[in-house]
Amino acid sequence: TTNRASCPGGKYCPAGSTSPIPCPVGFYCPSFSSEPLECNPGFYCPALSGNQLPCPAGTYCNETGTSSPSPCPAGTFCTESTTTPTPCASGYYCKAASSEQVPCAAGSVCSDPSMQVSCVAG
């Protein structure tokens, strides 16, 4: 049987197992784990994760057991570990996968929060 004290991160060792078992996607297995732990919202866990990974800025992870982050939709922005995209405020715009709002430049209009349109002189 495998001694849990020698079980590496990214794998788990249930009582009576003969060798470490790879941690599945959506779960993480710190060193010495006897079972996989489900990834929390705001984090993601690819296969063989020893720790939860924070969803990078520009992405979100809104469910338990997320295996890969989702890109933030156009018209919203996402900071690190976001579970719900934040809508862009009036006077700002946010392209897809934005990590912050961008102010609408002088001479432009941002009536659609996902894009900036230059005003035409005339």
pLDDT tens, position by position, 49-99: 999 999 999 999 999 999 999 999 999 999 999 999 999 998 899 999 999
Q: Structure tokens of 58? A: 């520009």
Closest CA to 93 of 65, 106, 74, 67: 74
Residue 42 · residue 70 · CB < 8 Å: no
> What pTM value is reported for the model?
0.84
pLDDT tens, position by position, 7-60: 999 999 999 888 999 999 999 999 999 999 999 999 999 999 999 999 999 999
| 6-40: b (≥16 Cβ within 10 Å) or e | ebebbbbbeeeeeebbebbbbbbbbbebeebbebb
Q: What percent of the chain has pLDDT over 70?
A: 94
Rounded distance between C-alpha atoms, residue 6 and residue 41, angstroms: 29
pLDDT for residue 107: 87
Specify the pairing of strand 117-118 against strand 70-71: unpaired
